Structure 1
Amino acid sequence: MITGSKLKAPEGFKGLTKDVEYYFLASDGKANRARLVFFDEKGTTASLLTFSRPEFDLALTNGDLVECGSDPTPPWLKGISGTSVDQLEKDRVRPTKSYDEMVNNRYLAIANLVENSEDILSSDRPESVINAHADQLSPKQVGARLRFWFFTYLVFGRSKWALMPKFDRCGKGKRVQAADGKILGRPPKSGLKSRFPATPEMQASIINGFIKYNDKTKSDAEIFGDVLVGEFGCVPLTTSKGKKKFYQPEGKPFPTKGQYDYYLGQVISTKAYRKARRGPSGARAKSGFIGSFSHDLVNVNQLVEFDGYNPKGKISGLLEGSAMDSACVVRGVCGLSGAVVALGFSENKENMEAYRMALFSMAIRKVKFASLFGLTIREEEWPTYGLPQNIVFDRGPGSTMGVPIRSEAVARGEMMSWLSRLELTPTHSGQSKATVESSHPRTKSDNDQPTHFHSSLNFVEMSKRHILQAIYDNHASDAEGKMTPEMLEGGFSPTPHNIYKFYSDLGYDAGTEVSFDYAVREFLTPHPAHIKRSGVYFYGRKYNSSKLIDTEVFDRIALNGQISVTAYVMTMCVRHIWIELEGVLYELDFVKPASVHPSSVDISLSDLQVLNENRLRGKAQLREEQPAILQDRNAQFLHATGKAWDSGTRRLGRPAKGGAAERDAADQKRLMGKGHD
């Protein structure tokens, strides 16, 4: 069960009202409690209910509490579900305050509560803690309103947009870190003009700079100075009073030490930072007993480790069938159960596309993910879904995942709001991701003469193979070391699939559900596409869907006109694409002519780009050949008839129908009839 799952209870069960939706909020393994929250129909108040873990588990087992689905969208915001908030903001008329400002103000009021949410929900009286925080705010907030915002944010995907006001036409404007360019936080002692707002661009540069210049032989001050010089272009300056300070020659913004430390702490966990700065041995000297890798974990999807590997063997190219390097496979493995919960692919080597595809696969249900590759699986074969609270990446392409990836996302201030911590493993630490490292498939080797295996599969077919391999590993791997006495009493086999299902069915699931539209926009790669009168064209390939046709967009396009749109693509398989039209996403299928071989449907984006280059090259070649072909045709006609192709004269008016014309018609009829005889 993931955060935000809806529960129904029979009448009279432990004070719960019948036919009212309750939402599973959290489970506290230490205090042995489970928390539920109830929102009123109008979406104005929230009430917290607490159960003991035995009572809650027994209620689920006996069917007294029934899970009836989940939805990352609050019920009072159903009217705008599936529509981008950018489009809704454009539809507003003379707004005096943007939705972004409204939502930011609400989130700032609960930001400290969110940061300490685990401690608050583990306390004996969470609502009292929230009320006390409301009294300390300036201006003072109403406790009931603050509780409603806090519980709404936690239940519905940990997204600030769940805090939107209940308007018929809800939307948002340009996302900014500080309203009207003001600097957030306590005024500095050296004056308001001595520092700059921490924009998303500045935060991204802080993280990138730390990753680039981190060196355990240097002090924190040295690394901070390197970041200011290398990333922000600052230079040291001696003031008239003899003090040393940094300044930016072009007047561009740069962070203070406090901003630098704060945003590093927001993205990199204390444990990972300590290891990165002190090294494994130095960090170990400052820490106590760590225990096994899953020792401190209570829920599935609480922590997921990611790593990529390159399977041995060569695959076949699409056009020539030559031996090519195999695809890189990125797996995400649940730290508690050992189940493979995420899968991503990239060509040749590990890159950001593979990690984003892995997060996309984790955010959506696996039946849908497999269908995008043309595979049909059952829900019970791979039931994992939901984004984790904590992820572990190595210092590869995934190390910048906590930073906005696309330029338009930076402009809107979008960060991964569902993510609590991004942990970076230190270098030269082979066991930092032991759970996922041990889950990679193994290939036997020998000391005989070197050989290589040339597979007959292409990139997409190899991806299908690894999807089925992940399902097999979940159902066949031996995870006896993760079994508990309660699991042994259940008598099921010790596989990661069964262990994951055991925890999830009892509510020990920390996954955050997001909508499919959010997953597409957040994790898939945007590319340009064009809507023409006959369909949507993406690198020369035609796509369409019945829902897009129903919008009558094709009727609005002139005969030779087109509309430029953004297409979201899963790079390893372009069987489907998604386009955004007037704020709504549409899933499109490849339009396959009857004469095309079925295998041509499943190709990667790079293969499609190669085919498009060949198509454009062929059209250019045809343009060069057409004049010569026409002249050759004319020459052949002249040789056969002794007359030019366009010989004759053009005269005004219609052709005369006198006696000469009638005699010519009679002669032609007689000759044609004689020829038939």
Structure 2
Amino acid sequence: MSGIDYYLIGNASSIARVALAWFTEDDGQDKSSDRWRADVVRIDRLAFEAGVEASLIVTKENDKAFPPWLSRLEGLDPDALEEFRVSKKKSYREYATGRYKHIATLVEREDEFFAEADIYKAFSAHAKVCIPRQHPDRIRFWYCTYQAFGQDLYALSPSFPGVGTWNRQMVDPSKKLGRPNLRNGVNSGYSAIPLVQRIHAAYLKYAQPGKAMTNIHADALSYEFGCKTRRDERGNVCYFHPEGAAFPTLSQFDYHVKQGFGPESIQKQKYGDTRYRSRIAPSKGKFSEATANLLESIEADAYYSKERPTRLLSNEPGLPLAICRIACVTSGYIVGIGFSYGGERAEAYRAAMFFAVAPKDLMARMFALDVSDDDFPCTGMSPKYISDRGPGHNAVAAMAEDDKPPIRDLAPSWMGQSKATIESSHPRDIEQEGAPSYVQSDLNMFELARREIQRTGLDNQASDASARLTLEMIAAKTPANPNGIARYLINRGRVDAVSMRLDRAIRSFLRKVTFELDASGLWLHGLRYDSVTYRASGLDQLPRGRQRLPISGYLLPMTVRIAWIEHEGRLIEIEGQLPIRDDPRQLHLSLVELEQTSGELKELLKDQRENATGSKVEARNKFTEATGKQWDAGKHVAGRAPARAGSSRSEVPTQFPTRNRSG
């Protein structure tokens, strides 16, 4: 017959015959092996070979390890499935071994068996001598299955994997499915098959973010299915339909909602996309898998220091310090760090970009730290910049068009996993229970910033980056930290960093401020600035008399030790100066602290003016009390005053002769 798949189960050379088997399935929804039948046909070997040569019989590659009724076992280890079986009297192997024992004799004397005149009678005769006695069709089915599928013992396994996969929609809708209700009896409840569409509609209507399935089911029973309630003899509230109409139980409602919408959709609806993605959804791999080179892509994000800095002019806590970091997606290497006081602002992101592109010896001078290329081996920005909406985006939006990264991605709001590399690099604090509290640091704002820079260098050296190591990196004994991976990629030229001139970086990333130039020097909020380059420029000679000239300049708001001013299209570096030779650490200030100091200085000047006036009054009063006269007592006399006032002839000292000791 054409169009049938035959399996070669015997080729007896002694009788020159070939045995072929084929399997047919009885009509019905049950896919178990009991609904399958095996038949056997024997043909002459020469006729079979002639049919193959004439392409009347076409060879078909059998790529299935298991028969159709065991298709769900494809690619699985049947022995491993034993761990997942809830109830088992015998293992799959024991079932298959028991069936094989009934056909073992037939397998062992295959040629003799196929030489029988009537193969079907031979199967029947063998079935009668089996203990216990078996049906001939079952023996024939087991034998053909074993021979057709590679003599694999597990091909004789029962088709338990198909249990429970039948189509529930094909049964009588008036018949309730599932196990009987042990509490209310066998006939209690209704079939949910006719209610599936109403269940789906009720879920869509009453489901809300954060709403539990029990509450959705309660709304559906009350508003959609019209259920009422009553109390039973034990005082429990029961629900029923006054007209005896069908309604779903919670288990039925939950089952059909999951069948109709899937667990993923339900969990997103209940917990929201963010929680589903961060806690429930399976991992789709690492973000670093999409990159190959150092600084091919960077992520920027900010966090707050757990401590509140101490104010410079008092012991009171200051506002929180926001710390922005920029990390390489490929290596986890933190290339930049910046700060803003009082909140997360674009200023922190621009400061981090400046840190990324500036020479590290310059950053060491600005923050009076031992920062070198050993701590930050790569300098530059990436062509791809990823940040969230808000300050991170605004920092780039305010830049000149030719300074912006060519590729800019915005992470969705409240989606930390969209920039997982930088989010996971933030310092983690242990949340404590109990009354709210905070930590007031003994460090001021500038000192906290210095510590966070040191922490960033430490993280580059101490963070575990072993999950990012490739096989070649491991063979090269690359240190399993971000700096180690960065150096490995640098040594092989796999760097996408975009360098930037220092003057361009200063103008793009630092805050623009206005200095005041007068005859006494260059000033910003009461702090005088000076440098050899500044004096060589001749700027200090411009003011005349009391003239005050505004001079444009730039500085990093977290440190005022070093700044730059514009002069004739060039930037001139200047440094803060103390009015006397004293401890230079007094210049370890942020711009906010310098402004506070300037405000305090103005208050001191006001106090000094009052103090000076009071001191003058006090001196005059004391003089009057001592002499009885006023401080400026006297009168103006016309004419020229004597050349030597008060030196009359009588006041000339007497000259006495000296005695000559030699005479």
TM-score normalised according to structure 1 size: 0.52
Task: Identify the residue that residue 466 of structure 2 maps to in structure 1.
Answer: 480
- Equivalences for residues 351-390 of structure 1 within 5 A: 351-390=345-384
Task: Give a deviation string over 1:16-73, Cα, whole Å, max 9, x none.
Answer: xxxxxxxxxxxxxxxxxxxxxxxxxxxxxxxxxxxxxxxxxxxxxxxxxxxxxxxxxx
Task: Give a deviation string over 1:182-209, Cα, whole Å, max 9, x none.
Answer: xxxxxxxxxxxxxxxxxxxxxxxxxxxx
Task: Identify the residue that residue 560 of structure 1 maps to in structure 2.
Answer: 546
Paired amino acid for 2:463: S
Give the 3 Å change call, closer, same or farther, for CA 416–310 of structure 1 in structure 2. Answer: farther
Task: Identify the residue that residue 348 of structure 1 maps to in structure 2.
Answer: 342
> Which residue of 384, 396, 402 maps to 1:402?
396
Cα distance in structure 1, aligned partners of 2:517 and 2:524: 9
SS in 1 for 2:528: strand
SS in 2 for 1:372: helix
Alignment partner of 1:442 is 2:436:
no
Task: Identify the residue that residue 326 of structure 2 maps to in structure 1.
Answer: 332
Q: Which piece of structure 1 moves more, 416-425 or 303-312? A: 416-425
Alignment partner of 1:603 is 2:589:
yes
Task: Give a deviation string over 1:183-239, Cα, whole Å, max 9, x none.
Answer: xxxxxxxxxxxxxxxxxxxxxxxxxxxxxxxxxxxxxxxxxxxxxxxxxxxxxxxxx
Give the Å deviation of 1:582.
1.9
Alignment partner of 1:427 is 2:421:
no
Q: Which piece of structure 1 moves more, 414-423 or 476-485? A: 414-423
Task: Identify the residue that residue 578 of structure 1 maps to in structure 2.
Answer: 564
- Equivalences for residues 179-578 of structure 1 within 5 A: 291-404=285-398, 414-447=400-433, 451-578=437-564
SS in 2 for 1:661: coil
Give the 3 Å change call, closer, same or farther, for CA 656–594 of structure 1 in structure 2. Answer: closer
Give the Å deviation of 1:450.
5.2
Give the Å deviation of 1:388.
1.2
Task: Give a deviation string over 1:620-647, Cα, whole Å, max 9, x none.
Answer: 3434554444333323222222332223
Give the Å deviation of 1:402.
3.1
Cα distance in structure 1, aligned partners of 2:575 and 2:638: 53
Give the Å deviation of 1:315.
2.5
SS in 2 for 1:333: strand
Give the Å deviation of 1:666.
3.8
SS in 1 for 2:386: strand
Task: Identify the residue that residue 573 of structure 2 maps to in structure 1.
Answer: 587
Task: Identify the residue that residue 254 of structure 1 maps to in structure 2.
Answer: none
Cα distance in structure 2, aligned partners of 1:482 and 1:385: 21
Give the 3 Å change call, closer, same or farther, for CA 660–529 of structure 1 in structure 2. Answer: closer
Task: Give a deviation string over 1:519-551, Cα, whole Å, max 9, x none.
Answer: 111111111211222321100111111110112
Cα distance in structure 2, aligned partners of 1:668 and 1:334: 96
SS in 2 for 1:299: coil
Give the Å deviation of 1:428.
3.4
Task: Give a deviation string over 1:410-438, Cα, whole Å, max 9, x none.
Answer: xxxx3243510221111232301100011
Cα distance in structure 1, aligned partners of 2:316 and 2:364: 27
Cα distance in structure 2, aligned partners of 1:528 and 1:624: 31
- Larger RCO, structures 1/2 (Cα 8 Å, 6+ apart): 1
Task: Identify the residue that residue 635 of structure 1 maps to in structure 2.
Answer: 621
Give the Å deviation of 1:465.
0.8
Would the aligned equivalents of 2:350 and 2:510 in 1 still touch at CA under 8 Å? yes
Would the aligned equivalents of 2:308 and 2:321 in 1 still touch at CA under 8 Å? no
Task: Give a deviation string over 1:445-503, Cα, whole Å, max 9, x none.
Answer: 34366554332111111111111111111111111111112211211221110111111
Q: Which piece of structure 1 moves more, 325-334 or 629-638? A: 629-638
Give the Å deviation of 1:320.
1.2
Paired amino acid for 2:487: K
Give the 3 Å change call, closer, same or farther, for CA 643–507 of structure 1 in structure 2. Answer: same
Give the 3 Å change call, closer, same or farther, for CA 396–658 of structure 1 in structure 2. Answer: closer
SS in 1 for 2:514: strand
SS in 1 for 2:289: coil
Give the 3 Å change call, closer, same or farther, for CA 665–290 of structure 1 in structure 2. Answer: farther
Would the aligned equivalents of 2:363 and 2:371 in 1 still touch at CA under 8 Å? no
Paired amino acid for 2:352: A
**Tell me, which stretches of 5 or more residues in structure 1 are unaligned?**
1-278, 284-288, 406-413, 670-677
Paired amino acid for 1:493: P
Task: Give a deviation string over 1:224-263, Cα, whole Å, max 9, x none.
Answer: xxxxxxxxxxxxxxxxxxxxxxxxxxxxxxxxxxxxxxxx
Task: Identify the residue that residue 17 of structure 1 maps to in structure 2.
Answer: none
Give the Å deviation of 1:660.
6.9
Q: Which piece of structure 1 moves more, 618-627 or 554-563? A: 618-627
Give the Å deviation of 1:569.
1.7
Q: Which piece of structure 1 moves more, 622-631 or 456-465? A: 622-631
Cα distance in structure 1, aligned partners of 2:486 and 2:397: 30
SS in 1 for 2:425: coil
Task: Give a deviation string over 1:309-366, Cα, whole Å, max 9, x none.
Answer: 1121333221112233441111100011100101001113211111110111011122
Paired amino acid for 1:558: R
Cα distance in structure 1, aligned partners of 2:544 and 2:441: 47
Cα distance in structure 2, aligned partners of 1:466 and 1:600: 20
SS in 2 for 1:381: coil
Give the Å deviation of 1:507.
1.6
Question: Looking at CA atoms only, which structure, 1 or 2, has the larger radius of gyration?
Answer: 2
Would the aligned equivalents of 2:364 and 2:372 in 1 still touch at CA under 8 Å? no
Would the aligned equivalents of 1:345 and 1:354 in 2 still touch at CA under 8 Å? yes
Give the 3 Å change call, closer, same or farther, for CA 438–618 of structure 1 in structure 2. Answer: same
Would the aligned equivalents of 2:323 and 2:340 in 1 still touch at CA under 8 Å? yes
Paired amino acid for 1:375: L
Paired amino acid for 2:486: Y
Give the 3 Å change call, closer, same or farther, for CA 665–391 of structure 1 in structure 2. Answer: farther
Paired amino acid for 2:604: G
Number of aligned residues: 380
Would the aligned equivalents of 1:365 and 1:384 in 2 still touch at CA under 8 Å? no
Q: Which piece of structure 1 moves more, 448-457 or 565-574? A: 448-457
Give the Å deviation of 1:595.
5.8
Task: Identify the residue that residue 615 of structure 1 maps to in structure 2.
Answer: 601
Would the aligned equivalents of 2:377 and 2:486 in 1 still touch at CA under 8 Å? no
Cα distance in structure 2, aligned partners of 1:648 and 1:619: 33
Would the aligned equivalents of 1:365 and 1:383 in 2 still touch at CA under 8 Å? no
Would the aligned equivalents of 1:366 and 1:383 in 2 still touch at CA under 8 Å? no
Give the 3 Å change call, closer, same or farther, for CA 336–430 of structure 1 in structure 2. Answer: same
Give the 3 Å change call, closer, same or farther, for CA 536–430 of structure 1 in structure 2. Answer: same
Give the 3 Å change call, closer, same or farther, for CA 593–658 of structure 1 in structure 2. Answer: closer
